[in-house]
Amino acid sequence: MAIPPEEVRRVAALARLEIPEDRLGRLARELSAVLEYAAVLRRLDLAGCEPSAFAPGGAPPRADEPAGGLAREDALAMAPEAGEGFFLVPPFVEDLEP
């Protein structure tokens, strides 16, 4: 199926990507080519095939139990901006009284 360029723009916004206008057309064609190839799946007999999220037949994941994690200073060490024990980002709530 063919994806129009404006659909690429919509998906890019969901994915937090800025795609320059002059690349939208080409990307739309490339993604369409892959999805057209994927049409082969529609011709497949999938009766009785339940979806598998992980390798089917694989062992179940271990119990998800809390355990120790990274120390705060290690977690912050590679942040682009950090201070007072927190990751810092530009203000995103306006008119907030301190």
Partner 1 sequence: MSAGGLWRLPARALAEAVRSGRCTPLEAVSSGWEGPAAAWERDVHAVAHADPEARAAGAAAVAGHPEGRPLAGVPVVVKDNLCTLDLPTTCCSRLLAGYHAPYDATVVSRLRAAGAVVVAKSNMDEFAMGSSTERSCYGPTRNPWDLERVPGGSSGGSAAAVAYGLAPLALGSDTGGSVRQPAAFCGVLGLKPTYGRMSRYGLVAFASSLDQVGLFARHVGDLAVAYAALAGPDPRDATSRPGPAPDVGGWDAGVEGLAFGWPANLWREGVDAEVVEGLEEAAARLERAGARRVPLEMPSGEAALAAYYLVATAEASSNLARFDGVRYGARAGDGDVRALQARTRSEGFGEEVQRRILLGTYALSKGYYDEYYLTAQRARTRVRREHEAAFARCDFLLGPVAPTPPFRLGEKLEDPLAMYLSDLFTLGANLAGIPGLSVPVGTTRAGLPRAAQLLGPDDAEPVLLRAARAVEVGGERARLGRTHETEAAWPSKR
96 near partner 1, rule: CB under 8 A: no
Find the shortest distance in angstroms from Cβ 69 to partner 1.
Answer: 11
Of 1, 37, 4, 5, nearest in space to 21 by CA: 5
Burial tier of 11 (Cβ tally within 10 Å: 0-12, 13-18, 19+): middle
Q: Applying CB under 8 A, does 44 fall inside the site for partner 1?
A: yes
Per CB under 8 A, contacts with partner 1 among 65-94 are 67, 70, 74-75, 77-81, 87, 89-90, 92
Residue 35 φ/ψ, nearest 5 degrees: -70, -30
Report if residue 54 touches partner 1, rule: CB under 8 A.
yes
The nearer residue to partner 1, 56 or 83, going by C-beta atoms, is 56
